Amino acid sequence: MVRPSKMLQTIFLVILCLWVNINGLGNGVVQQYYVNSSVCKMPYVDPFARKLMRKFQRDKLKLCHKDKGIVRSVFDYEMQQYRLQINENVARPMLETRKNATLECVYQKVLRNNTAKEPDDTYITLQSRPIVHQQLVPRDTDFMVTKCYAKDIKNSTELLQEDAMTFIQQMWPSTEKVRSQPSVLILGLDSVSRINLRRAMPSVYKFVSRPGWFEMQGYTKIGDNTFPNLMAVLTGHSEKGTEKVCDTSKPGCLDTLPFIWKRFKSANYTTAFAEDCESINTFNYLKGGFVKQPTDYYLRPLLVAIENNFNVTKRYGLSYCVGRQLSSSYVWNFGKQFIDRFLGRSPMFGFLWSNSFTHDEYTGATALDKLFLKYLKSVEETHLFERSIVILMSDHGQRYNLLRRAASGYFEERMPMMFIYIPPWFRLKYPALVENLNKNRNRLTSNYDVYMTLQHLLQLDSKSMDDFPDDLRAKQCPTCQSLFFEVPLNRTCQMAAIEEKWCCCQPTETIRRSPHVMTIALAIVERMNNHLQEQQLTGLCHNFSLKKVHKVDRKTILSTGLKPADKDEHVYIIEFSTFPKKPRFEATVRWNNRTNKLLDMDVEDLSRLNSYKKDANCINEKKAKIYCICKDSIKQERKLTSARRSLYTLADWFRCLYYRFKF
């Protein structure tokens, strides 16, 4: 006979098991969600999943130099100017190895060439001038390059050290608006998902988990790479929407767009913009750049000058050391000067973006963790967080390599980090707005909402989105809104202007067996080849032939209140590779099982899951680089004869039969 205590335990376990099954839980763990509504279920992802962490690697920070600078700059608060100082103690050991040598240091002023057709890609260096210890830097000097030489008795010189310096020193008078208008500083790290921040940069994550920080856990990107995502944040435009206005590859186009810093400038803010790795700058890589300097302070002229003249060391696939300094240091030091000069004296808007550590390899983030934490603490010491709204964000997560191929890779790519800091005075003055922001942490949000939030900061007396005129709305998302107003719980991706491809709201199931899989994959490849013909790229790019289907997921379309789709229509996420060179792609497509038709697939929306850096040098179209395999990238490649093409086609049909049985 079973004792009552044992019977009760048995009943409890049965009830627990039933509850687990009913709630769809795995491994006895309650299913958690970033967003959980009737129209959007965005599942929680464990950043430290065992299978991924077995392969996850960490890297160490490597500094660019071990010596101290011979020339340094310090700000003279009495004169409100920078001074140059020569540290002879640093130079002395260098001179002692060169008999009877003396030290000679000079500087060259670096300017933006505003008269050039493409000013963003040019610079001017003025004549060298000698540096005198403790000399004042002229107020109109933004950038300079310094060089120190050992000069012998025959007047021969040997370069000992060269450096580059930035100067933000023009002071603005205090105004009443400083007290009423929050300063805004956006700090960006390329390709960092909210998931990977936790595993790769735990020190930084701990910092942004403190009171006052709000993480947008349902924040989802709206485009593939940096340009469309930052355009949405800074202008309210999508990439396709911008193309209807003007050609972004032509100089002058970007100047006509409603960048948010223009509105901040018109509201008497002082503005700044800096981004490292000049060759891939967001608004210059295959783009026309700015003809008119976009902000009051703009780092690009110096970066173009030094990356073309200094010794550049590459790491993580990009410029890592430029001269004696980390590439990213120029951005962060520039930002620190901006904060030092204007915090408490003028409302300021700054946009600081770094690519060098994180753009290509996830391990770069692990090396950056403690260094970036040090930077955050240094700006904290300036009292930035007492007075300003600070946004720490990214454009997207890793788009290829280990993290993208992991089980969580789908979310890894689509969910960039987005943390918003609200200072104490703002929380006290606008408690209702902050409460709305807190509610929105677990609502579906997009880049356009951030744009509207920035707009809101310039009209904080607004009671609702009805107070925003049409010209201040995000052009490609009229229904998007400030995060200081409550986002609807039943919000869909369509309402947030997130396309089906990027939407993470619908749960997926992995398809193990289906007669449609291979047919769909072959139809995708056929569409890709047709696209090459339509774009007249067959002379440069190889036709594709299906190699392998790696994974197929099918979305469970939740009720959206819209007219139901054809019951035979499904959304598939197919991961596959092709010949030649085995590029790996992911396609999100709609397929009708009854008509066997691929619906509305845009080849330019394909995701590339491995690097295309060595495959697409024959073409300068940014989107085409993702899917073009340049013919000249394959050594000793022979032209396909008609017979060989037939063999490829025959092989495709054999693979079709194989996959029909497999799936």
The full DSSP string for 160-192 is: EEEEEEE---------THHHHS-EEEEEEETT-
Q: In which residue ranges of the chain is pLDDT below 50?
A: 1-2, 13-14, 16-28, 561, 563-564, 636-646, 648, 656, 659-663
Residue from 142, 144, 141, 146 nearest 131 by CA: 146
Task: For tokens 């947008």, name the residue.
Answer: 216
Q: Report whether 615 contacts 606 (CB < 8 A).
A: no
Q: How many residues does the chain have?
A: 663
pLDDT at 20: 39
Provide the Cα torsion 475, 479, 482, 484; round to 10°. Answer: 180
Long-range pairs for 238-244: beta carbons < 8 A, 24 or more residues apart: 238/475, 238/476, 238/497, 240/476, 241/475, 241/476
**Tens digits of per-residue pLDDT, 447-463?**
999 999 999 999 999 99
CATH of 182-430, one of 2.40.340.10, 3.40.720.10, 3.40.640.10, 3.40.50.300: 3.40.720.10
Amino acid at 11: I
Q: Report whether 257 contacts 242 (CB < 8 A).
A: yes
CB atoms inside a 10 Å sphere around CB 645: 12
**Tens digits of per-residue pLDDT, 612-623?**
888 889 998 888
Residue 115 CA to residue 120 CA, distance in Å, equals: 11
| Mean pLDDT across the chain | 89
Secondary structure (DSSP) of 486-552: PPPTT--TTTTT--TTT---S-EEE-S--TTHHHHHHHHHHHHHHHHHHTT-TTTBPPPEEEEEEEE
- Show the beta-strand stretches assigned E in 216-269: 219-220
Q: Report whether 447 contacts 418 (CB < 8 A).
A: no
Q: How many CA atoms lie within 13 A of 117 on its CB side?
A: 1
Residue 300 CA to residue 141 CA, distance in Å, equals: 15
Residue ranges of the domains in the chain? 71-166, 182-430, 508-662
pLDDT at 644: 47
Exposure of 563 by Cβ count < 10 A (0-12 exposed, 13-18 middle, 19+ buried)? exposed
pLDDT at 472: 96
Residue from 215, 191, 557 nearest 399 by CA: 191
Query: Per the structure block, which two tokens stand in for 634?
Result: 């394959």
Query: Per the structure block, which two tokens stand in for 59?
Result: 């890297």
Cβ partners under 8 Å of residue 309, min gap 6: 145
Residue 412 CA to residue 586 CA, distance in Å, equals: 14
Query: Per the structure block, which two tokens stand in for 458?
Result: 């310039």
